[in-house]
Amino acid sequence: MNKITYGLILGGILGIFDGLTAWFTPEARPQLMGIVLGSTFKGLLAGVLIGVFARKVHSLALGVLFGLCVGLLFAFFIAHMQGKYYLEIMLPGGLVGLIVGYATQKYGDSSDAAPSRT
């Protein structure tokens, strides 16, 4: 599986999972569907960006760092829209980005990748 598709699928799956964890917060349950949809979209978008980066730059360390930054940035936007829960949203969001960044570099197929720039 190429790196972009890998990032897309993994980002989407982790996004769904990340959104579903809102169920454990009673006051967030009424908006669960919206949270899951938003989180999934965020995961898909971050996954594609991380996948494109992994395709261009063949470096595990840079891939992980980029994933972390993208995850934190997207999570910050979400938290900022709510105006609260920065830590609760950004910490797991950053970790999801980090996981996607690691996995795309490590396990994504680089056969169709651009020349290495490391």
Partner 1 sequence: MNWLSDEAIARLRTAGAEPALAGTRYRLIERIASGGMGSVYLAEDATLGRRVAIKILDVPDSSGELAARLQREAHILASLEHPGIVPVHGAGTLADGRVFYAMKFVEGERLDRFSERASTLPGRLRIFQRICDTVAFAHTRGVLHRDLKPENIMTGPFGEVLVMDWGVAKILPAKQISTPAGMPHDQVRNHPGTLAMDSSRTAPKTAHGAVLGTPGYMAPEQARGDVEHLDERADIYSLGAILQFLVVPSARGTQTTPRALIAIARKAMDANPAARYASASELGQDIARYLDGLPVLAYPENVFQRIARWAARYRMAIVLVLTYLVVRALLIFWFRR
Which of 107, 112, 114, 116 binds partner 1 (CB under 8 A)? It is 107
- Residues 14 to 73: which contact partner 1 by CB under 8 A? 18, 21, 24-25
Total binding residues toward partner 1, as defined by CB under 8 A: 16
Question: What distance in Å separates the CA atoms of residue 34 and residue 36, rounded to the nearest whole number?
Answer: 5
Token pair 């999570």: residue: 75
Angle ∠(39,19,102) on CA atoms, nearest 5: 70
Task: Using the minimum distance from each CB to partner 1, give the nearer residue, 81 or 87.
Answer: 87
Which of 39, 49, 99, 108 binds partner 1 (CB under 8 A)? It is 99
C-alpha 99: how far from chain center: 8
Task: Using the minimum distance from each CB to partner 1, give the nearer residue, 24 or 117.
Answer: 24
Identify which of 46, 62, 64 has the alpha carbon closest to the alpha carbon of residue 7: 46
Residue 73: CB minimum distance to partner 1, A: 18
Which of 2, 88, 110, 113 binds partner 1 (CB under 8 A)? It is 88
Give residues in contact with partner 1 (CB under 8 A): 18, 21, 24-25, 87-88, 91-92, 95-96, 98-99, 102-103, 106-107
